Amino acid sequence: MIRVDPAALRAASDSARQLSDQLPRMSDAVTASAQDAASSCPGFITATALVEVADAWRARLAAVGGAFAQTAANLATTADRDEATDRAQAAVYQAAAH
């Protein structure tokens, strides 16, 4: 038998949602830092590389944020379904007992 704790699933969902919500700010910070650094060395190939790295990080952080958001939704759905299953099984048991 597998035991599932809907409260634990919801807590994990909340944590994943918080990470998903924080990632855009992290991405903005990475981009701003790279742009500041790039503007400090105009004409150098390093400036272009910094912008390319920032763009790559922005895309990766967006993908990770999306994955965390999907994980949060899946965990919440699983908690809801588990509780619904428990309620349905309890109703069947109660009906059979009477």
Structure confidence by residue, pLDDT tens digits, 35-90? 899 899 888 888 999 989 999 999 999 999 999 999 999 999 999 999 999 999 99
Q: What angle do CA 68, 72, 73 make, to 5 degrees?
A: 120
Domain boundaries, the chain: 12-97
Using alpha carbons, list the distances in angstroms from residue 52 to 3, 47, 48. 47, 9, 6
- Predicted model pTM: 0.79
The pLDDT of residue 6 = 95
- Measured CA to CA, the distance from residue 83 to residue 76 in angstroms comes to 11
The pLDDT of residue 4 = 86
The pLDDT of residue 97 = 85
Q: Is residue 2 scored above 90 in pLDDT?
A: no
Judge whether 19 and 68 are in contact, CB under 8 Å: yes
